Amino acid sequence: MREIVIPGEPLGEANQDRLPYGVFREGDKLYSALYGLVEPDKGIRITPLNGRYLPRVGDVVIGIVIMARHSGYVVDINSPYVGHLSIPRHSNLKFPRLNPGDVVTVKIASKNEVGDVALESPRRLVKGKLIEILPTKIPRVFGKSGSMLDLIKNTTGVQMIVGRNGRIWLRGEPDAIIKAERAIRFIEENAHKYGVTDAVKKMLEGDI
């Protein structure tokens, strides 16, 4: 059963060394640091209700090029930190030529404790529509092993790329994009509730 926790709320006894994000220890007790959801029967993990995207190595995100430098590009990744995409000096892969304003999917290659983020494997996204939702709701857009994403893609026929940083790129027929976007907004609004997959299914199939 899902429950809402607020900052400073006790979460039980501490019997683990590594604590998940948003949990802190004082004495031998654990407390929540976030306003979010917990499922006590599934262990101590807090799903925040809101919050900025914090880069994690390996995440695929959608970035917007801010500017070009001699060695690469500065990319906005919808996070407190900007990403640096450097052009490899020796590479057989074709590296795209980018301009400020271009939308790219990139992978977080590395990051350090002061917030320098390195990016890799850029792919430019052309045409389509870019929307932004709360980054904390992205796991719900994917669903269990991608089920929600498949549902939206299959029923609307829209191509989708979902970035962990809350940006979603949609490409397809204009009507289908509107429909997919409506479904995504619905998921974002109702992410804390149960039965979202069925509601989305009904919503998408009802409109056909």
Partner 1 sequence: MGGHNPGIKLLDKDGKRIDGRGLYDLRPIKMEIGVLKKADGSAYLEWGGNKVMAAVYGPKPVMPRHLANPYKAVLMYRYNMAPFSVDDRKRPGPDRRSIEISKISRDALERIVMTEYFPNTMIEIFVEILQADAGTRCAALTAASLALADAGIPMRDLVAACAAGKIDGKVALDLKKEEDNYGESDMPLAISPRTGDILLFQMDGLLTKEEYLESLHLALEGAKKVSEMQKKALKDKYKIETLGGEDDKV
Q: How many CB atoms lie within 10 A of CB 204?
A: 19
- Angstrom CA distances, 29 to 14, 143, 146, 206, stand at 5, 32, 35, 49
Give the binding range for partner 1 (CB under 8 A) out of 18-26, 67-75, 156-164, 172-180. 18-26
CA 19/CA 108 separation, integer angstroms: 23
Q: Are 137 and 110 in contact (CB under 8 A)?
A: no
Residue among 16, 22, 60, 49 at smallest CA distance from 188: 49
Give the binding range for partner 1 (CB under 8 A) out of 88-96, 124-132, 137-145, 160-168. 137-145
Minimum CB distance to partner 1 smaller for 128 or for 143: 143
**Rounded to the nearest 5°, which phi and psi values hold at 44?**
-85, 105
Q: 75: which DSSP letter?
A: E
The answer to the question of residue 47 lying near partner 1 (CB under 8 A) is: yes
Minimum CB distance to partner 1 smaller for 31 or for 73: 31
Provide the minimum distance between the beta carbon of 192 and partner 1 in the complex, in angstroms, as a whole number: 5
Exactly one of 14, 19, 24, 86 binds partner 1 (CB under 8 A); that residue is: 24
The answer to the question of residue 165 lying near partner 1 (CB under 8 A) is: no
Residue among 155, 182, 154 at smallest CA distance from 168: 182
Positions 182 through 201 that interact with partner 1 (CB under 8 A): 190, 192-199
The answer to the question of residue 66 lying near partner 1 (CB under 8 A) is: no
Provide the minimum distance between the beta carbon of 113 and partner 1 in the complex, in angstroms, as a whole number: 7
Helices 147-156 and 174-190 pack at an angle, to 10 degrees, of 150
Query: Tokens 């994009």 correspond to what residue?
Result: 177
Query: Tokens 């006894």 correspond to what residue?
Result: 13
The answer to the question of residue 69 lying near partner 1 (CB under 8 A) is: no
CA 112/CA 208 separation, integer angstroms: 48
The answer to the question of residue 19 lying near partner 1 (CB under 8 A) is: no
CA 156/CA 150 separation, integer angstroms: 10
The answer to the question of residue 115 lying near partner 1 (CB under 8 A) is: yes
Exactly one of 16, 50, 71, 154 binds partner 1 (CB under 8 A); that residue is: 50
Provide the minimum distance between the beta carbon of 31 and partner 1 in the complex, in angstroms, as a whole number: 7
Minimum CB distance to partner 1 smaller for 1 or for 93: 1
Query: Rule CB under 8 A: which residues touch partner 1?
Result: 2-4, 6-8, 21-22, 24, 31, 33-37, 47-52, 54, 80-82, 113-115, 136, 139-140, 144, 190, 192-199, 202
